[in-house]
Amino acid sequence: MKIYDVAAFPNPARVRIALAEKNATDQVEFIDVDVMGGEHRTPAFLAKNPGAAVPVLELDDGTTISECTAITEYIDHAFEGPSLSGKTAKERAVIHMMQRRAEGNLLDAVAAYFHNATPGLGPDLETYQNREWGEKQKERAVGGMRYFDEVLGKQPYVAGSEFSMADITAFAGLAFADFARIEIPEDCNNLQAWREKVASRPSVAG
């Protein structure tokens, strides 16, 4: 099994945390993709993921899987360990709902701000930018922080009582927000406490 990624990027970090939670990191070969050099836009990489994004999981039979949620689903079912995507129908539905909210209202919103309203990855890679859209997405990201702060005032984790892939996505979103210089509102105490708790997990801290 191979994973094509860039270790420091937010979405690859999600997959690496999931692997660590399942104690399966040593069962994967990581292949670095030179995104800054445009490798993700080459025909060879586009054959693996037409979306030109990392990470990409490649199985031993040649099957390639992109999109972090899909990759995490595969990891969750392929390896033993605590469930990240839920066991019961209700758990799975709630986790996927909160996972999507963490993507849309936090991680993806931060990414849209970063790629549109800042220099992003530089002029060679940021071939189109819409600053107004980017600034609007910054507002969305801050709104997402406030939403999750409210959620985490009622339960220990993003999707309920157990750590899940929704927490991984939200945590990666906040890390990206740090990089993009979007600050967590000072009054989001629940979110800050949750972040410190997640940061102390071996899969994250290690």
The pLDDT tens digits of the residues spanning 32-61 come to 999 999 999 999 999 999 999 999 999 999
Instruction: Reply yes or no on whether the pLDDT at 189 is more than 80.
Output: yes
Residue 26 pLDDT > 90: yes
Q: What is the mean pLDDT of residues 17-28?
A: 96
Percent of the chain past pLDDT 70, that is, above it, reads 100
Distance CA 69, CA 73 (A): 6
What pLDDT does residue 8 have? 84
Confidence of residue 159 (pLDDT cuts 50, 70, 90): very high
Please give the model's pTM, rounded to 2 decimal places: 0.94
CB distance 156 to 76 below 8 Å = no
What class is the 2-78 domain? alpha beta
**In this model, does residue 175 exceed pLDDT 90?**
yes
CA dist 50 and 48 (Å) reads: 7
Q: What pLDDT does residue 67 have?
A: 94
Q: Give the pLDDT score at 73.
A: 96
Given this model, what pLDDT does residue 146 score?
98
Pairing mode, if any, of strands 56-58 and 2-5? antiparallel
- Residues with Cβ within 8 Å of 72's Cβ and at least 6 positions away in sequence, in order, are 14, 15, 18, 84, 85, 165, 168
Whether the pLDDT of residue 206 is over 90: the answer is no
Q: Are 72 and 85 in contact (CB under 8 A)?
A: yes
Look over the chain and give the mean of its residue pLDDT values, rounded to a whole number: 96
Residue range 97-141, pLDDT digits in tens? 999 999 999 999 999 999 999 999 999 888 899 999 999 999 999
Residue 87 is predicted with a pLDDT of 94
- What pLDDT score was predicted for residue 42? 96
Give strand pairing partners of 29. 2
Q: Provide mean pLDDT across the span 150-156.
A: 98
Q: Which CATH class is domain 89-205?
A: mainly alpha
Domain residue spans in the chain?
Answer: 2-78, 89-205
